[in-house]
A and B are shown apart, each in its own frame.
Chain A
Amino acid sequence: MKRKIITSLIIIGIVIVILILLQNTLGNFKLRILNLAGIYVIFAVSMNLINGFTGQLALGHAGFIAVGAYTYTLLVMDSDLKSMNFFLEPIVPFLSSVHWPFLPAVIMGGLLAGLAGLLIGAPVLRLRGDYLAIATLGFGEIIRTVFTNTQSITNGSLGLKAIPMPKSFLFIEMKNAFTWWVWTAVIITVIFHFLLVSSSYGRALKAIREDEKAAEAMGVNIFKHKVWAMVISSFFAGIGGALLASLMTTIDPLMFRFTLTFNILLIVVLGGMGSISGSVISAVVVTILMEWLRFLDQGFMGLPEIPGLRMVVFSTLLLLVVLFYPRGLMGNEELSWNKITKMFQRFHMQPREVRK
C-alpha cells in the first residue's frame, strides 16, 4: 500500500515536471493540442468505466459532454456576453444575470451531467447489449436535439461564442492557467478511477462485466452498481465537456453529435476495454495523430485535397488492432513497472516465446 502511494506520487511528479517543461517550450498551437489531449483522456477514462469495466455498451457520452459544456458556458458568461450571443431571442431572465467563477461552473457542469446520467441510466440500464447501445445513443442525440431547439436557453443552433478562458490557476494568475486546470482534472480523474476500480465496488463492477447472473447470485445489486457507474462516468464526461467548451471558446450543438462518442469509443477500444492506463496512452496518441495527420487532408505527394483522408488512417488502425490485438493495446491490465521490465526482457532474451 505504501509503495503504491509512493509510486503514484512519483508518477504525478513526473507528469508535473513534463507539463512545466512542455509549457515553456511548446508554442500556442501545440499547447492547445496538449490541452485537447488531456480533455480526451478524461472522456476516454470516464467512458471506460461504464463500457470497459462494467461491460455495458453505453453510447450516450456525447450527450453528457454537451450537458457539461452548456452548463459551464451559461454559468461562466457574464450578462454582457450573454446579451451579445442571444441576439435572435433573449435569454431566459433567471440565467441572464448568473456569473460564476471557473471552478464552480466546471463542477456544476459535471454534477448536471451526472444528474442526466442518473435520469437516463435509471430506465435504460435495465436493457442489455445492443439494446442498451441503441437506447443510450438515442438519448445522447435527444439531448443534442433539445439543445438545438431551446433557443432562449442554449441559443439553439447559433451556438455560444466568446466563452472566457480562466486566467488564473488556484487564485494565481499565470499565462497557461488553463493547461494546469485541464491536467489537474486529468490527474484527479485518473486517480479517482484507479481507486474506484481497485476497490470492492470496482470488483463488483468487473463481476457484472464477467457474468451478470453470477454477480447477482453473489449478492451484487446489479442495477444499483450499473447506475452508479453510469452516474460517475457521466459526471466526469460533464467535467470534460466544461473544459472542452472553455478550450474551444465556442460551442454549438453540432459539436456533440454521436461521432464524438465514437471517437472516444475508438480511443477506448484501441487502449483496451478495462484498462485506465491504456485509455490514457491511446487518448494522447490519437489526439496528437488527429492533428499531425492533417497534412493528409491537404493533399500530399501530388494527391489532390481529400478532406477526411486522415480518418482512413484511424479506420485502418482500428481494423489492425481488432485483427491482431483484439483486446486493445493493454487488454484489461494496467501498465506497471513489472510489465515494462518484463517486456524489455522479452525483447532481449528469448528469440520468441512459445504461446500457450
Chain B
Amino acid sequence: MNLLEVKGITMQFGGLKAVANFNLNIDKNEIVGLIGPNGAGKTTCFNVIAGEYVPTQGKVFFEGRDITKSRPDQITKLGIARTFQNIRLFKDLTVLENVLIANHLNLQSNIFSATFRLPWYQKEEKIMYERSLQLLDQLKLTQYKNEKASSLPYGLQRRLEIARALATQPKLLLLDEPAAGMNPQESKELMYLIQELRDKFDLTIFMIEHHMPVIMGVCQRILVLDYGVTIAEGTPKEIQSNERVIAAYLGVEHIA
C-alpha cells in the first residue's frame, strides 16, 4: 500500500483551474520532487494534501485513509507535516517555544490539568521539553533556543521550520521550496540534511523546489507540473532529457 495516494485532484478557483487531474503515489521512505514554472500549481497541490483546500474533484488517501476533507490540524495529527514557501514561524516566540508548540498536538492532559500543573501534565511537559531540545540539538539550533525566531538568519529560520515540522512526529514531510533564497553552499548542506533526516526519522519526503541541483541530487522521482497539468514523471535523468519539460521551462521555438 502506498503511503500517500492522490487520485485525480482538480482544484478550481472560479474560472481558473490551478491543478487539473493530478495523480501521485508515494511509497514509504521515498523522496519525491515536484517542479514546474512559476504559477504551475505546485503549492496548490501541497495545500490540498495538507488540508488547506478541499479539492473540487478527486481524493487524497494517507495510509489508506481518506483525508480529502480533513482539517489541516487533523491531517498533521495523522502524520503529515509541512513547511511553508514564505517562512511562517511564530515570530515573536522563542526558537524553543516554536518547537514546543508543534509538540502540543500529542498532549493528552486537558486545559485545566495543564493550567493547574497536575502531575500527569508535568510529566508530559517534561517529555515535550526533552524531545524539543533533542530535536534542536539534531538540527544544530541549540545555541539559539532562547532567541526570538524572527531574529535568526534566514537559513536558520528555514531549518527551524523543518525542526518544527519534525516535532509533530510526521511520517510524511512536505517541504515547500526549502532551498529558496539559499546560496550554493547552504543548498548543498540542505541536500545532505534532507537525506540525513529521511534516514534518521524514517521519513518520506515530498518537496517542491526550484533549485535544480538540489532536486536532481536528492529526489528519486520527480513530477513536473505546467499550468496545473502533470507533463512528466520519472527519474531525474529522464526528466532532464524530457522534451516537454524543456519546452515548459525554456519555451518552444516557433518557426513562422
Query: Which residues does A use to contact B, with CB under 8 Å?
Result: 192, 195-196, 199-201, 203-204, 206-207, 210-211, 213-222, 228, 332
Chain B interface helix/strand/loop/mixed:
helix
Tell yes or no: B121 within 8 A of A by CB. yes
- CA gap between A215 and B114 in the complex, in Å: 19
Residue in chain A with minimal CB distance to B101: A207
CB distance from A334 to the nearest CB of B (A): 14
A214 surroundings in chain B (CB, below 8 A): 84, 88-90
Residue in chain A with minimal CB distance to B167: A218
Tell yes or no: B71 within 8 A of A by CB. yes
B84 surroundings in chain A (CB, below 8 A): 213-214, 217
Which of B73, B90, B111, B168 interacts with A201 by CB under 8 Å? Answer: B111
> Does the CB pair B115–A216 fall under 8 Å?
no
> Which residue, A200, A211, A222, has most C-beta atoms of chain B within 10 A?
A200
- CA gap between A203 and B121 in the complex, in Å: 14
B101 surroundings in chain A (CB, below 8 A): 203-204, 206-207, 215, 218, 220
Residue in chain A with minimal CB distance to B109: A200
> Does the CB pair A192–B111 fall under 8 Å?
no
Tell yes or no: B226 within 8 A of A by CB. no
**Residues 97-145 of B at the A interface (beta carbon under 8 Å):** 97, 100-105, 107, 109, 111, 114-117, 121, 124-125, 128
> Does the CB pair B117–A213 fall under 8 Å?
no
Q: A201-B111, A228-B111 are in contact. Are A195 and B73 (CB under 8 A)?
A: no
> Does the CB pair B104–A203 fall under 8 Å?
yes
- CA gap between A207 and B88 in the complex, in Å: 11
- CA gap between A211 and B86 in the complex, in Å: 12
> Does the CB pair B89–A219 fall under 8 Å?
no
A206 surroundings in chain B (CB, below 8 A): 90, 92-93, 97, 101
A216 surroundings in chain B (CB, below 8 A): 71-73, 76
A218 surroundings in chain B (CB, below 8 A): 73, 76, 81, 101-102, 104-105, 164-165, 167-168
22 cross-chain CB contacts under 8 A: A192-B115, A196-B111, A200-B125, A204-B101, A204-B104, A206-B93, A206-B101, A207-B90, A210-B92, A211-B88, A211-B89, A211-B90, A213-B88, A216-B71, A216-B76, A217-B76, A217-B82, A218-B81, A218-B105, A219-B104, A220-B104, A228-B111
Tell yes or no: B188 within 8 A of A by CB. no
Q: A192-B115, A195-B117, A219-B168 are in contact. Are A200 and B104 (CB under 8 A)?
A: yes
- CA gap between A228 and B105 in the complex, in Å: 16
- CA gap between A177 and B124 in the complex, in Å: 41
A332 surroundings in chain B (CB, below 8 A): 92
- CA gap between A74 and B190 in the complex, in Å: 66
> Does the CB pair A219–B93 fall under 8 Å?
no
- CA gap between A332 and B148 in the complex, in Å: 13
> Does the CB pair B73–A203 fall under 8 Å?
no
Tell yes or no: B50 within 8 A of A by CB. yes
Tell yes or no: B237 within 8 A of A by CB. no
Tell yes or no: B91 within 8 A of A by CB. yes
B114 surroundings in chain A (CB, below 8 A): 196, 199-201
Q: Nearest 10 CB-CB pairs, A to B?
A: A219-B105, A219-B76, A210-B90, A214-B88, A199-B114, A216-B72, A218-B102, A207-B101, A196-B115, A195-B115
> Does the CB pair B116–A195 fall under 8 Å?
yes
B65 surroundings in chain A (CB, below 8 A): none
- CA gap between A217 and B72 in the complex, in Å: 6
- CA gap between A196 and B114 in the complex, in Å: 7
Q: A199-B114, A200-B104 are in contact. Are A219 and B71 (CB under 8 A)?
A: no
Interface residues on B, range: 35 or more
**Residues 139-192 of B at the A interface (beta carbon under 8 Å):** 164-165, 167-168
B49-69 Cβ-contact flags toward A at 8 Å (1 or 0): 010100000000000000000
> Does the CB pair A201–B115 fall under 8 Å?
yes
- CA gap between A214 and B72 in the complex, in Å: 10
- CA gap between A164 and B124 in the complex, in Å: 46
B164 surroundings in chain A (CB, below 8 A): 218
Which of B90, B102, B121, B125 interacts with A219 by CB under 8 Å? Answer: B102
A192 surroundings in chain B (CB, below 8 A): 115
CB distance from B118 to the nearest CB of A (A): 11
A221 surroundings in chain B (CB, below 8 A): 71, 73
- CA gap between A220 and B104 in the complex, in Å: 7
Residue in chain B with minimal CB distance to A274: B92
**Residues 199-230 of B at the A interface (beta carbon under 8 Å):** none
CB distance from A198 to the nearest CB of B (A): 9
- CA gap between A61 and B104 in the complex, in Å: 29
CB distance from B217 to the nearest CB of A (A): 27
CB distance from A173 to the nearest CB of B (A): 31
Q: A199-B121, A201-B111 are in contact. Are A207 and B93 (CB under 8 A)?
A: yes
- CA gap between A221 and B102 in the complex, in Å: 12
CB distance from B138 to the nearest CB of A (A): 18
In the complex, besides A196-B115, A200-B124, A201-B115, 12 extra interface pairs with C-beta distance below 8 angstroms are A199-B114, A199-B117, A200-B107, A200-B125, A201-B111, A207-B90, A210-B91, A211-B88, A211-B89, A213-B72, A217-B88, A219-B104
- CA gap between A216 and B121 in the complex, in Å: 22
A196 surroundings in chain B (CB, below 8 A): 111, 114-115
A211 surroundings in chain B (CB, below 8 A): 88-91
B102 surroundings in chain A (CB, below 8 A): 218-219
CB distance from B227 to the nearest CB of A (A): 26
Residue in chain B with minimal CB distance to A196: B115
